[in-house]
Amino acid sequence: MKEVEHGIIITADNARVEVLHFSPTVVRVRIDRSELKPDFSYAVIRQPAGNFKKITDKRDSLVLITDSLQVIIMKKPLRIKFLTPGGTLISGDYQNFSLSWQGTEITCYKKMFPDEKFIGLGEKTGPLNRRGNAYINWNTDIPGYSYRQDPLYVSIPFFIGTHDDVSYGIFLDNSFETKFNFGASTDDEFSSFSATDGEMNYYFFGAKNIPGIIRDYTWITGRMELPPYWSLGYQQCRWSYYPEPEVLDLANSFREKKIPCDVIYLDIHYMDNYKVFTWNKDRFPDPTSMISKLNALGFHLVTIIDPGIKIEKGYMNYDEGIKNDCFVKYPDGNLYVGSVWPGRCHFPDFTNPKVREWWGRSFTALTVPGVEGFWNDMNEPSAWGQSIPDIVSFDFDGHHSTLAEAHNVYGLNMSRATFEGTKQLLNNKRPFVLTRAAYAGIQRYSAVWTGDNTATEDDLMMAVRMVNSLGVSGVSFTGPDMGGFIGTPTNELFARWMSIGVFTPFLRNHAEINSRHKEPWSFGEEVEEISRQWINKRYRLLPYIYSAFYESTQTGMPVARTLAINYPRDEKIYENDFQNEYFFGGEILVAPVSGDKSICKVYLPAGDWFRMSNDRYYNGRSEATVDCPLDDLPVFVRSGGIIPLQSVIQNTSEKPSPVLEIHVYNGKVPNSFTYYEDDGITYNYKTGQFCRRVISFDPVKKSIIIGKAEGSFASRYTVFRLVLHDFGDIMGVKVNGKDVTLKLKTSKQRFLETALTSEATEITY
Ligand code: GLC
């Protein structure tokens, strides 16, 4: 054993082992058969820091201590365990075998506890609790994927285990094909994770609870930046809207029908022969004028972008790519050719910093006319035939590698190039970037949508779990193709999907080419009206949703949060009937239900709850059978919950009424909510132009405080309407010491209105 900066290195009989301290709750383990290679990762943005408090070299073990963890390394045979300071085993190598190589494939086996559950791994099908299942990470273009399909488009080799009273996270930072086995086909004694090549290189997260583990995981792999506010609105997509008059008609229809919408997408038909960074001049003769018309109607335009560059002399991006040596090659120096939409293509090497810059600059073709959102597709990478030879070479930021290692980070690096490039081009405006393929850390650059799903009730429920799973894996800004990309939803499915979409971080309706139209008015008047009401609700909720996104940027806490984050030890939440339930932000519990049901069972965990639509009260830790007509998804607010709402607007550039409603639901336990607002468009928040205030409710002191505003941004709202739910006929209400009389809203709701200034306001009762 050798002590090194931040940790130790062990030279064992058959392996080198490095254990490094990143923080008292984050420890990294690297193991290889020979000398460890220079350290490099596309996912990780932190360096080892600090040191173990104490390192003890005993006869048969090494003990490394941090403030929060003990790492015990048994010497013969080599086994690594992680324990709490009190000595409870959190996670440890399986006693019988722990590390094995099969050819180049390296596997680590961990003891599996009798009651252990596993969540996470990003975009995966299957149940919330992944125990009994095995998964592969190899980014794959898989249209119409089924309920158990694996792998899909995204690889996030990070999971959270929870057993007894402890939880932990493991992130295997290896971009070769990786595999996770949570006790599938075994007799329940061990779980394992492996990589087909490269090092065993994992981060162990030992924070006390799951929010802490997510905080640490996103400290290591980065957090999202605040997205443009408009990207939280409703988004309309189709493969493809063209030509220009059709796009403008679509925009006008939203406004005429008074269905709020912020974004319209152009799919591949906007390009000339599917060549990226071009416009089809017949279909879109004057993109600048079209986009300014859209902007005037309050729409932002997002265009698709694919990595394959058509092989065609005279096509600027092809010529530049050849001249600047931007495309991936075989080891013999010949360029790789694969066919995608434009026909035969070369593929940019996004693992080369020069290529990322070149790609980023190419967006002027889109940004100059006014495009503000960039939809990165086919970046698994996908080419017809779906099997690019592993031997294709990549720069790997100077570390030189092949597709075997670069494949899973191709989408990440394409999204990074897109994000970094467009951020520069948009002059202080925030770009919106969307991607299909990704690797751990993608949240720093892009939102993720869950690829080509199908219009079935099962897909709807599966999408909810995928979004929640991406959430615990660091990716907050995510959602499925609302309504289903492939196939035709029934009216009921579409209406239900719309309601669940309202409580989904990324809300985009998309449909395959030649499929039935899926705009909200395409399913008859009844569904149109239900859709309108739900989208109105989304816009009412925007102050709440934006604050939840802000929280993600600060702590990594996802916007859609499986109940497992806060209730990991409650067995009920993993049951088939309840595993899809989640919190949307910190206060709202959503119990998704398929469109074919009008009555359903929900489970409400510890706490007390109010149904949001009618203020009906429910005790926690209990099941309830509730009505769920299409216009009333079972959505609950925690008692003590605090929810800011605004008036309905048709798009985010429209000024809402100056009244910010703050809804407080009575409860027994104090609660607080961090409200966040800024211009929603620029990076000026980085220099203090935001408005942040803590709203707190203390039922013991009988007070509600709208805290003093921090930051220099003048809020959009100048009045607040405090709406009290289930407080009864409270008397003696005072605002900053002055008596006020509450007004009656419904039998369960009372309200008062007063000026919203930057100073604190206290309401007592
Ligand atoms: C892929 C995408 C889909 C897009 C289509 C055409 O299938 O996943 O969203 O509409 O390509 O570009």
Quote the ligand 1 centre to 481 CA distance (angstroms).
Answer: 10
Cα 182 to chain centroid, rounded: 23
Q: How far is the CA of 453 from the centre of ligand 1 (A)?
A: 11
Instruction: Look up residue 335 and give its DSSP letter.
Output: B
CA angle 39, 42, 46 (to 5 degrees): 65
Quick one: which atom of ligand 1 is closest to the CA of 485? Answer: 9
- Specify the residue with its C-alpha closest to ligand 1, atom 3: 452
Atom of ligand 1 nearest to the CA of 143: 7
* Beta-ladder partners of 618: 609
Report the nearest atom of ligand 1 relative to the CA of 267: 12
If you count them, how many residues does the chain have? 765
| C-alpha 511 – ligand 1 centre gap (Å) | 9
**Predicted local confidence at residue 379, as pLDDT:** 98
Residue 484: its pLDDT value, please? Answer: 98
Predicted local confidence at residue 188, as pLDDT: 74
- Report pLDDT for 12: 87
Asked if 447 contacts 470 with a C-beta cutoff of 8 angstroms, the reply is no
Average pLDDT over residues 95-124: 97
pLDDT at 186: 84
> Is 267's C-beta closer than 6 angstroms to any atom of ligand 1?
yes
177 in ligand 1 pocket by Cβ < 6 Å? no
Percent above pLDDT 70 for the chain: 100
Tokens of 500: 């669940």
What is the tens place of the pLDDT at every residue in 332-361? 999 999 999 999 999 999 999 999 999 999
Q: Is the CB of 305 under 6 A from ligand 1?
A: no
183-205: pLDDT as tens digits = 998 877 999 999 999 999 999 99
Residue 276 contacts residue 309 (beta carbons within 8 Å): yes
- C-alpha span between 687 and 448 (Å, rounded): 28
Edge-to-edge strand ranges of the sheet holding 338-340: 309-310, 343-346, 338-340
**Pick from 572, 603, 564: which is nearest to 120 by CA?**
564
The reply to whether ligand 1 has any atom less than 6 angstroms from the CB of 452 is yes
Q: What are phi and psi of 347, to 5 degrees?
A: -120, 125
CA–CA dist 442, 373 (Å, integer): 16
> What is the whole-number distance in angstroms between the Cα of residue 553 and the centre of ligand 1?
29
Instruction: Record the pTM.
Output: 0.98
Q: Which amino acid is at 120?
A: G
Each residue of 582-638: pLDDT tens digit?
999 999 999 999 999 999 999 999 999 999 999 999 999 999 999 999 999 999 999
State the pLDDT confidence band at 726, using cuts at 50, 70 and 90.
very high
Q: Does the CA dihedral 730-731-737-743 come out positive or negative?
A: positive
CA of 268 to the centre of ligand 1 (A): 8
290 lines ligand 1 (CB under 6 A): no
The dihedrals phi and psi of 396, each to the nearest 5 degrees, come to 50, 50
pLDDT at residue 14 is higher than 90: no
Strand partners, 338: 345
* Ligand 1 centroid – CA 465 distance (Å): 22
Ligand 1 neighbour 239 (Cβ under 6 A) = yes
| Residues with catalytic function | 377, 380, 452
Ligand 1 nearest atom to the CA of residue 451, by list position: 8
Res 544: pLDDT: 99
At residue 386, the pLDDT reads: 87
Q: Is 678 in the pocket of ligand 1 (CB under 6 A)?
A: no
Calculate mean pLDDT across residues 545-573. Answer: 98
Contact 503, 588 (CB under 8 A): yes
> What ligand 1 atom has the least distance to the C-alpha of 436?
8
What are the pLDDT digits (tens) for 58-84?
999 999 999 999 999 999 999 999 999
Which residue out of 238, 304, 435 has the highest number of ligand 1 atoms within 8 Å of its CB and is therefore the one to mutate? 304
Over residues 281-314, the pLDDT tens digits come to 999 999 999 999 999 999 999 999 999 999 999 9
Residue 157 has pLDDT above 80, yes or no: yes
pLDDT for 533 beyond 90:
yes
pLDDT band at residue 430 using 50, 70 and 90 as cut-offs: very high
Residue-level pLDDT at 102: 97
Does 380 contact ligand 1 (Cβ within 6 A)?
Answer: no
Q: What is the pLDDT of residues 161-190, one digit of tens each?
A: 999 999 999 999 999 999 999 999 887 799
Ligand 1 midpoint to CA 552 (Å) = 28
With a cut of 80, say whether residue 738 has pLDDT above it.
yes
Contact 280, 269 (CB under 8 A): yes
